[in-house]
Amino acid sequence: MSFPLSTFDSEDVTCFDIIKATYALSDNELEVMMCIKHSQPTDIKTIAEIIPKDRATISRSIQRLMGIGFVKKTKINLDRGGFKYIYSGLSTDEMKSKLKELIHRITTRMDSAIDKLTDEKCQELYTGVVEKYNP
């Protein structure tokens, strides 16, 4: 998923736009994350009652969200035997903190890369373009 950073130079940008772009989340993944956050702890069945998607799709979204640290999984034993997994999400403050830390790291690295821009680097890129198309 590609997006221009200039899209964030708008008064209309929301935290959800930033979360989706920063972590390359789909609309479905964001919806699952919000269901977990507001229904926690919850299971796939409950999410599927809210979001009319098959369990495999919801499960893939949950796996993705666990991979980036927005969702945690807990195994619970059932009284009648067996077990099931329940899911919980980060608090709003934890989400904000996680996002701010990542954005800070990204902007620090971007500032450093911009500071390394020189006429010589531009010339090297131009020379590479010429050599690529005119061997």
Convert the pLDDT of each residue in 23-77 to its tens digit.
999 999 999 999 999 988 999 999 999 999 999 999 999 999 999 999 999 999 9
Own/partner pairs, 40-48, CB within 8 angstroms, 24+ separation: 40/87, 40/88, 40/89, 41/74, 41/86, 41/87, 41/88, 42/86, 42/87, 42/88, 43/84, 43/85, 43/86, 43/87, 44/85, 44/87
- Residues of the chain with pLDDT > 70, as a percent, come to 98
Number of domains in the chain: 2
26/80 same-domain check: yes
74/98 same-domain check: no
**Does residue 3 have a pLDDT over 90?**
no
111/126 same-domain check: yes
Average pLDDT value over all residues in the chain: 92
- Residues of the chain with pLDDT > 90, as a percent, come to 80
**pLDDT for the residue 5:** 79
More confident: 43 or 10: 43
108/69 same-domain check: no
Q: Which residues form the domain of 106? A: 91-135
- pTM, rounded to two decimals: 0.80
